[in-house]
Amino acid sequence: MLPAFTSLRHFATNTMKRAASEFRMTVPWGEVRGQVWGPSEGRPVLCLHGWADNCGTFNTLIPLLPKDWRFVAIDFPGHGLSSHRPDGCFYTFPLYVADVRRVVEALQWKRFSIIGHSMGESFSALYPEMVDAVVLLDTYGFLPTQVTDMFKNMRKGINDQIQYDNKTEERKERVYTYEKAKERLKAANPSLSDQSADILLERAVREVEGGFVFTRDFRINLTAFVSCDILFKIKDVSFFRAKEGLFKTFILPDGYVDMILKSWTDQKATIVDVEGDHHIHLNKPESVASLISDFLQSHSPDKPESESNNNQSSKL
């Protein structure tokens, strides 16, 4: 049986030019939350946020994209307003892929496009037959992984999780004023503008007696110990690399950047360098919105492959 949609709550905020509906679906450990824009019969586009963010990261971008498309942006489990995983469970990339698969099953989407920021891209690698086109926003897409590093990461991830599980009595939610919560969010994400931080905080904190607590599960900070070196198998990928983004602020081992870019080039992905930072789609969505629209329109599901390829070379 498909997971149930428990409600759709219509709302609008002063940070959004276009009203969204609240998305809710049940999962075995609680619910997955998110937002929905556009008509139910519109072209389906799934929007996947980055690590430690939430679906609010798309609040300024989606209003600039075609109004007749159907956008669903989810909060990954442990993020935003979605339920945390049960005690003793890990947060790993394969499980995030499984979360997306549950959402797609509930939506009854057979084929759709993806807009993914940072970590929000892995689903396409495992289910390429379901995805017609992918837009990647300042992400590596994948990381080359040596077997020795993978084992080291797995060991650290397991040890970190067990150590955390054994300290249940020491865990306390820290209460912040709104401004202090905002300061902490911006300290962890220096690329966020003030307005962007406020947008993310709509789903990143909840009010309690004395102030606000963060909604995300602390366990997402533990080592995601299962590493995947999986390349995309679909042909239609547009890769937006912010000049002041991930490739500049997060230093990779020597040779990794060249290896990643060569792999994208070998797959004939469209690589677009844009001025901006890691949260360019949230801070300055107008700088990428038309490029995203053009790319996805040129790879419409009802267009022949030859026509899509011609449009790709002419538009970007």
Per-residue DSSP letter, 296:
H
> From CA 312, how far away is CA 316, in angstroms rounded?
6
- Residue with the larger pLDDT of the pair 179 and 14: 179
pLDDT of residue 12: 39
**pLDDT tens for residues 27-55?**
999 999 999 999 999 999 999 999 999 99
Q: Pick from 108, 48, 106: which is nearest to 72 by CA? A: 48
Percent residues over pLDDT 90 in the chain? 57
What global pTM score does this model have?
A: 0.86
Calculate ∠ Cα 202-208-210, nearest 5°: 115
pLDDT of residue 144: 62
pLDDT of residue 2: 33
> From CA 11, how far away is CA 19, in angstroms rounded?
6
Q: Pick from 73, 105, 103, 77: which is nearest to 90 by CA? A: 77
Among the residue ranges 3-17, 154-168, 227-241, 285-299, the one predicted with the least confidence is 3-17
In the annotation, is 118 catalytic? yes
Handedness of CA 51, 178, 284, 14 (dihedral sign): positive
- Residue with the larger pLDDT of the pair 307 and 43: 43
**pLDDT tens for residues 260-284?**
888 888 878 898 999 999 999 999 9
**pLDDT tens for residues 59-81?**
999 999 999 999 999 999 999 99
Q: Which residues pair with 20 in a beta bridge?
A: 11
For residues 263 and 296, is the Cβ–Cβ distance under 8 A? no
> From CA 226, how far away is CA 133, in angstroms rounded?
26
* Top-level class of domain 9-143+230-315: alpha beta
Neighbour tally for 291: CB within 10 Å: 17
Q: Which residues pair with 194 in a beta bridge?
A: none
Q: Pick from 80, 1, 8: which is nearest to 40 by CA? A: 8
| Average pLDDT of the chain, as a whole number | 84
Specify the 3-state DSSP secondary structure of 309.
helix
pLDDT of residue 258: 85
Q: What is the mean pLDDT of residues 275-297?
A: 96
> From CA 295, how far away is CA 310, in angstroms rounded?
11
**pLDDT tens for residues 190-219?**
999 999 999 999 999 999 999 999 999 999
Tokens of 225: 């110990």
Which residue is catalytic, options 118, 122, 124, 308?
118
